[in-house]
Amino acid sequence: MFKNTLSNLTRIRQVAEVLLRYGFEDVVTNTPLRRLVSQKRRLRWLEEDERPVFETTRWERIRLIIEELGPTFIKLAQALSNRADLLPEALIDEFEKLQSNVPPFSVEAARQLIEQELGRPLAEVFTEFDDVPIGSASIGQVHRARLHGGEEVVVKIQRPGVRDKVEGDLRLLHELVRLTGGFLRNQGLTNPQDVVDAFERSMTKELDYTSEARSMEQLRKLYESYTTFYIPKVYRELSTSKVLVIEFVNGCKITDKAQLLTWGLSPEQVAETGMDIYLTQIFEFGFFHADPHPGNVLVRPDGTLVLIDFGMVGKLTKQQKYAFAGVFIGMARQDARSMALNFRRLALSSDIPDMRAFEADLGLLIEDFAVLDVKDMSMSDLADSLQGIIYRYKLQVPGAVFLILRALVILEGIGKVLHPNFNTFEFVRPYGAKIIREQYSTENILSEAEYTGTQLLALLQTLPVDLRQIMRKVSKGELRVKVELSGYSSLLRKADELVGRTILALLALGSILFSGLSLLGHYAPQMPYYRGLPVITWYSLGFSVFLILLLTLPRRRSRE
């Protein structure tokens, strides 16, 4: 088990240290073993506020461990804070407190990296470059600049050495999961390796600024006809995987109500426009900005809304979009069964042993919200309730669903700052009706029929080859069905009978398909026809009927 890790003593030390923090200290403080720890030793385990670790909760200690491990682990915890299907609510609350407070790196390093990436001196690209960054994070930082054409831009620069650091931390995470997978599964995290794999894909994408550029360009194209919404232009010719140059947009935060009033704008209208734009992204395009906190949503003096920082985006397929909307529609109609069915459609995989209990829990959720006035409804409460049900029944739903719920809660908070009567449900309701019309539109039905037809045609093309292989194995006596049962001889006989009936069914299916395909053949003039059909078609149909009769005839039961 440790063969691969012995080659790197430094990593072993890191793994051992993290294992202690994840396991040993937690076990000591939550079992009678704590009695074996001296008072002097306990006093050395202090938080920054001088509170003994023995007085903290289990979830708080996990947060402290994450903070000590550094930015990559903090980003993992922040990502997991959106996954209510994996973690209990108490731990999510702790993870939401985590902040990546990383100081900016030197401007000299920033200038050097830009020149290396663009292959020319900084002065040839920018006439002005602000040495003081306007923002700093764990992956990179942002500087203002001006191009030779006079355009004001912001330059996003990746932190030097961050790629190697993140890749090293990811290797450590994989090693930790390998060593602690059994412990984590016993704690309720059923698929820790899948979680780390998904996080690795997310981080790899975030480390490549060209991915963010593509997302901006895609949304920019979708909204090119909108006059109330704007996405900054990306200068692709000046951007690389480590440097991103985008248009600078002047505006205030969407929550700066005083500034909006100074510009003569209606805060209520701004809130409604923002919600409408975001719901359009979800329910029409299925492609949305996943982090709409106030710092990422700006308002221009003319009232145009601007989104910035596309490092986190979410996507829904057409079927996921319909299923997600169906959950809200079912709730609006107070139809727990419809909500349950749409949850099943939405889930990547679900194993609900008791659908009645699942429907009953959804019915209780509906009852809780049905008695409330519209003004008393809260997206935050609904999101918590839905996430609680998802966690309780271990539904594996797309991660984009949690990003949407989180974003709707953030937007509701923004809306209530600007709009005294803001209610998220009132905005979602018309989109539900629109989704139903789209789902059952002629165009969508024809599209689904075309897809089904394509799949059926592919089956018909491969089925003759598969049948030929099966028949060849049957004729050679090579077809085997392996059934392992102990103490059930009657079931073995039934399995033997089932194999024979399966072969008959396959032969009948092949004969029916051959009958249909024989109609497409071009035959010699000597081929006899009966009632307009080739005789070979009739023979094939007759053989099919014979096989079907064999399948439907009752079998004589033998006594034990």
Q: Three-state SS for 284?
A: helix
User: Is the CB of residue 66 less than 8 Å from the CB of residue 376?
Assistant: no
Place of tokens 């029916």: 512
Count the residues in the chain: 560
Catalytic position from the list 85, 169, 291, 309? 291
Sheet holding 229-230, edge to edge: 229-230, 305-307, 297-299, 252-253
Assess whether 291 carries a catalytic annotation: yes
> What is the rounded CA–CA span in Å between residue 152 and residue 149?
9
Query: Tokens in use for 543?
Result: 């053989």
Q: What phi-psi label fits residue 8: left (phi over 0), alpha (psi between -120 and 50 degrees) or beta? A: beta
Q: Please enumerate, as own/partner, the contacts of 491-498 that have beta carbons within 8 Å and a separation of 24 or more.
A: 493/558, 497/555
Q: How far is CA 372 from CA 377, 439, 518, in A?
A: 6, 30, 65
> What is the rounded CA–CA span in Å between residue 334 and residue 359?
11
Residue of 264, 285, 238, 253 lying closest to 431 (CA atoms): 285
The single-letter DSSP state of residue 393 is: T
Task: Compute the Cα dihedral for 321, 228, 437, 341 and give only its sign.
Answer: positive
Torsions phi, psi for 335 (to 5 deg)? -115, 95
Q: What is the pairing mode between strands 297-299 and 252-253?
A: antiparallel
Query: Residue ranges of the alpha helices (H) in 419-441?
Result: 424-439
What amino acid positions are annotated as catalytic residues?
291
